[in-house]
Amino acid sequence: AQKVTQAQTEISVVEKEDVTLDCVYETRDTTYYLFWYKQPPSGELVFLIRRNSFDEQNEISGRYSWNFQKSTSSFNFTITASQVVDSAVYFCALSEAHTGGFKTIFGAGTRLFVKA
Amino acid sequence: DSGVTQTPKHLITATGQRVTLRCSPRSGDLSVYWYQQSLDQGLQFLIQYYNGEERAKGNILERFSAQQFPDLHSELNLSSLELGDSALYFCASSPPGQGLAGELFFGEGSRLTVL
């Protein structure tokens, strides 16, 4: 069954610390996509990154980096030198085909507090 | 601004009532997804429509129904409301032709409070 687990409910760090958000997924499909979304206090979910199941290259975008490891079914997200503006809820998500359409399932989210 | 419009932003109603939430996807997007976000359940996928047709269904209750109209806007109908239906309901759309890879563009959500 399709499942996304974000074991960390809340993380609190001090500004400039590095922080890693964990994501573990389960799927029977060989073709799928993984995503990270950010939900700031304003509430609207914003797309951050996508990865397909055949591309295990890690990616870096500014202070953000993502580590995809198929062997451990993990897709972890690291924020380097965190800033107060990074405070948000971060969701990991898995998209796979489902009866003629597509289903994107979200993890429970990790709430990140970055203190000044 | 994601380009996805949801109305109303806030709605307060009583148990047993029926409400309709409306969503307009981004211009050019054919897919519409509905999600329910509650404190204890997280973001739950409800249903997906593509160009007017239902394509995928999640844990949507029988009391809930949705449809996508020819102009591609979608409505989510919630009936016989219960206290537990209080939640933030998100609509999202995704770019055409991307299939599984399509990122979701979310609206601001409709916050439903059932008293």
The per-residue pLDDT of chain A, averaged, comes to 93
Nearest alpha-carbon partner for A10 in A18, A22, A1, A2: A22
What integer is the mean pLDDT of A75-104?
92
Cβ <8 Å between A50 and B104:
no
Q: How far apart are CA B100 and CA A103, in angstroms?
A: 8
Q: What confidence score (pLDDT) does residue B35 get? A: 97
DSSP string, A15-53: TT--EEE--EEE-S-SS-EEEEEEE-TT---EEEEEEET
Structure letter (DSSP) for residue A2:
-
Quick: pLDDT tens for B42-87.
899 999 999 999 998 998 999 999 999 999 999 999 999 999 999 9
Q: What confidence score (pLDDT) does residue A11 get? A: 97
Which of A37, A91, A99 is facing B56, going by the closest CB pair? A99
Q: How distant, in Å, are the alpha carbons of A9, B21, B103 from that of A35?
A: 18, 26, 8
Length of chain A: 116
- Identify from B40, B54, B60, B100 which residue to disrupt to test chain A contact, counting A C-beta atoms within 10 A and taking the largest count: B100
Which of A50, A106, A107 is facing B103, going by the closest CB pair? A50
Quick one: what percent of chain A has pLDDT higher than 70?
100
Cβ <8 Å between B109 and A44:
yes
- Identify from A8, A29, A45 which residue to disrupt to test chain B contact, counting B C-beta atoms within 10 A and taking the largest count: A45
Q: What confidence score (pLDDT) does residue B96 get? A: 87
What integer is the mean pLDDT of B106-110?
96
| Residue A78 contacts residue A61 (beta carbons within 8 Å) | no
Sign of the torsion angle spanned by Cα atoms A59, B48, B7, B114: negative
Strand partners for B33: B48, B92
Which residues in B19-57 are b (16+ Cβ under 10 Å) and which e?
bebebbbbeebbbbbbbbbeeeebbbbbbbbbeeebbbe
- A-B contacts (CB, under 8 Å): 70
Higher pLDDT, B22 or A60: B22
Which residue is associated with the tokens 């939430």? B21
Higher pLDDT, B114 or A98: B114
* Phi, psi torsion values for A72, nearest 5 degrees: -115, 10
- The answer to whether residue A100 scores a pLDDT higher than 80 is no
Cβ <8 Å between A33 and B55:
no
